[in-house]
Amino acid sequence: MSGKTHEYLQHHFANKEQQHESAKLGMWAFLVTEVLTFSGLFCAYVILRNKYPATFELCGDLLNANLGLINTIVLITSSLTMALAIYYIQNDDKTKTIQCLGVTLILAAAFMVIKYFEYTHKIHVGQLPTEAFFYPNLPESVGEGLNKEMIRPGFYFSIYFMMTGLHGIHVLGGMIVIGAMMYNTYKGKYSSEYYTPIEVTGLFWHLVDLVWIFLFPLLYLIG
């Protein structure tokens, strides 16, 4: 048992297998809390959409579905490159690991740049949450009699900015961690003997991508 092989082993673990499984279990527990957090927002979306269906249909048409689709493709591709990074480090190919992590980081940055342009456009034209909304091209109400519905676009954009904003924060956090994984791989801290940090980062990144796969159709297609 060489010192180099086990220099990463923490004193409170009996062996590297126990440490590896504990780290994965800890990440899965964290991901459960993340799922619960986003589940609350999805429930809020369902409640508001059922109460104001016309509002969500009209406001959903104001989103750029093409940009949403591009971001979906970008994140799905980043999941693939993240999985490849794990595969390559398991096979001691540090160069390709760094390359795949780098591509993942670039794709994440591309996602955030697209969201930046989406957000700035909405702020510029007044598509904002709650009372701050001042976009002039929506009717005040639709329907007649019992079916008449007051259009409340601020509700839609409140849930839009909350859901996509929280998701964006997770993307930024993932970018920071992925950057750290690249640096540590370059420094030789990870190998086929020890790649747990990259693997658990991959689990987190896949969840971030999965959340967006739900957000895209709900906000951009269904409205």
Report yes or no: 19 and 9 within 8 Å, Cβ to Cβ.
yes
- For residue 220, the 8-state DSSP code is I
d(CA 98, CA 121): 35
Q: Which CATH architecture has domain 17-139+151-222?
A: Up-down Bundle (1.20)
Structure-token pair, residue 113: 């740049």
> In tens digits, what is the pLDDT along the chain, a chain of 223 residues?
344 446 665 656 666 776 767 778 888 999 999 999 999 999 999 998 998 888 888 888 889 999 999 999 999 999 999 999 999 999 999 999 999 999 999 999 999 999 999 999 988 888 888 776 777 777 777 766 656 677 788 888 899 999 999 999 999 999 999 999 999 999 999 988 888 899 999 999 999 999 999 999 999 988 6
User: Using CA atoms, how far apart are residues 85 and 186, in angstroms rounded to an integer?
Assistant: 13
CA torsion sign for 188, 89, 32, 48 is: positive
On whether the CB atoms of residues 125 and 140 are closer than 8 A, the answer is no
What tokens were used for 4? 């180099």
Distance of CA 109 to the CA centre of its chain: 12
Q: 142: helix, coil or strand?
A: strand
Q: What are phi and psi of 110, to 5 degrees?
A: -65, -40
CB 54 within 8 A of CB 149: yes
- Give the model confidence (pLDDT) of 92-107 as tens digits: 999 999 999 999 999 9
pLDDT score at 213: 95
